[in-house]
Amino acid sequence: MAGRAGREIPTFRYSQSYLADREAYALSPELRLGAGTFTPIGQRAMIGGIADAQPDSWGRRLIGTDRRRRGDEGRANELDVLVAVPDLTRQGAIRVHDGSKYQARAIGETPTLMDLPDLIEAARAFEDGNEVPDELRRLVVAGSSMGGARPKATVRMPDGRLAIAKLPRDDDFGDAMAWEATALRLAKQAGANVPDFDLQRIGDKSVLVIDRFDRHGDQRFGYLSADSLLVKQPGQDTDYTLLAETLAPVSASARIDLEELYRRVAVSLLVNNVDDHMKNHGLIRVRDGWTLSPLFDVNPLYRHGTASSTPVSPVDDPGDRDIRNLISSAGAYQLPSARAAEIVREVELATANWDDVATGFGITREALRPMSSAFENDNRKRATAISVPDRPAGWSVAPSTHPRNQQGRFARKPDPASGPNE
């Protein structure tokens, strides 16, 4: 840590052994591969890439409360927050080592699905500001590794896999986790790449359990948020065309990733997902570069006019996003206009049965009406009115069938130096 302007600033340098590794890659745009000391760019608190291995607001609150209960009244710096996350569950492939062991407090076992009722009660007590000294330790183990403001926990599945359990809150509008499951199912119907997930019913609450796509057994995969990819500064405006144009040069399969991103934006507009900031988009490291991670955090909202939404393009209104601007910006995704319009129509058709999907996840018919404006919105009307131009000769209209493995990652290209992949 280095001092600057009265505050501690994290520094980083690559080891010589890492630089000598033929499979080494830059952890983020801020950390170009080479010698030298790196610090965060601009007003970012932590260096991109490394920041993605830290928790966001929910996990930071847990860590801060736990530190105070242990008598540490000092303000945690960025390294303290990074180290406080359990090594086993920390997001991505970055680990913290002091030369003899991996750093992270060993404070208990990763909970299982059987522990979900206790985790819900502990999270509720913590949110209410009640004393939860015993449960807090379990929450720190389970919930301090992931980003976001919602209570969540990493749990171990019966077959040993790690998964994320998104927990209900008392101030949720309706059955929020069942609605998120609905949005994920609709996205899958629309051809988007979504992780495997399951909706668990605990009493009168739902818990959404989603596979960890940065793990396959004991293997860890590098993770980079779109926030870090863009080196986004606090308060800086961004839009999806900028993300597409920044993604293309680093993607292992740019054409496929750009069409996937375009499809996801269409889904967000048609289900009114306004929680689509740049930390809710991510990349997974593969041999030849980065590729979009499976889709996550898709939350339909019945209210419109939310200014925190990511605009479709620089001319789009974040409070009233227009799907026609998505078609107009097709060039940023390297898509012909005919294909762009066709994808929008495909997504509209695939998400039109939102009410049947919702009731399939246990949402009552009475609860559909309050949320209907999320799905029966102006963008659906605009999408149904779109006329699809004649396609160029030979242009394929089928959704991408590029092979992916069971974690949702693209199949790796053969390495000429090592022969075909096993």
Identify which of 392, 380, 396 has the alpha carbon closest to the alpha carbon of residue 322: 380
| 3 state SS of 380 | helix
Q: Is 220-384 assigned to CATH 1.10.1070?
A: yes
pLDDT at 66: 80
Distance CA 260, CA 191 (A): 8
Question: How many helices (H) and strands (E) are present in the chain, helices listed first?
Answer: 14, 11
Q: What CA–CA distances, in Å, run from 59 to 135, 143, 149, 155? A: 14, 6, 8, 15
Q: Which comes out higher in pLDDT, residue 235 or 409?
A: 235
pLDDT at 395: 41
Identify which of 217, 171, 127, 138 has the alpha carbon closest to the alpha carbon of residue 406: 217
Percent of the chain scored above 70 by pLDDT? 84
- Read off the pLDDT of each residue in 117-140 and give the average, rounded to a whole number: 79
pLDDT digits (tens, 9 = 90+) for 175-186: 999 999 999 999
pLDDT digits (tens, 9 = 90+) for 372-389: 999 999 999 999 998 876
Question: What strands lie across the sheet with 223-225, from one edge to the other?
Answer: 223-225, 282-286, 289-292
pLDDT digits (tens, 9 = 90+) for 343-369: 999 999 999 999 999 999 999 999 999
- The dihedrals phi and psi of 17, each to the nearest 5 degrees, come to -65, -35
pLDDT at 393: 47
Q: Which of 15-29, 138-152, 317-331, 355-369 has the lowest mean pLDDT?
A: 138-152
Chain centroid to CA 272: 17
In single-letter form, the type of residue at position 99 comes to G
Determine contact, residues 105/145, Cβ cutoff 8 Å.
no
In single-letter form, the type of residue at position 194 comes to V
- Read off the pLDDT of each residue in 117-136 and give the average, rounded to a whole number: 81
| Two tokens, residue 42 | 């601009």
- How does residue 5 score in pLDDT terms, banded at 50, 70 and 90? very low
Q: How many CA atoms lie within 13 A of 396 on its CB side?
A: 6
pLDDT digits (tens, 9 = 90+) for 259-295: 999 999 999 999 999 989 999 999 999 988 999 999 9
Mean pLDDT of the chain: 86
- How does residue 104 score in pLDDT terms, banded at 50, 70 and 90? low
pLDDT at 111: 86
DSSP letter (8 states) at residue 383: H
Residue 201 has pLDDT above 80, yes or no: yes
Give pTM, 2 decimals.
0.87
| 3 state SS of 350 | helix
Distance CA 294, CA 184 (A): 10
Residue 305 has pLDDT above 80, yes or no: no
- How does residue 411 score in pLDDT terms, banded at 50, 70 and 90? very low
Domain edges within the chain: 220-384
Distance CA 97, CA 22 (A): 21
Distance CA 123, CA 132 (A): 9
Determine contact, residues 375/300, Cβ cutoff 8 Å.
yes
Residue 2 has pLDDT above 80, yes or no: no
Q: Which of 15-29, 33-47, 192-206, 401-415 has the lowest mean pLDDT?
A: 401-415
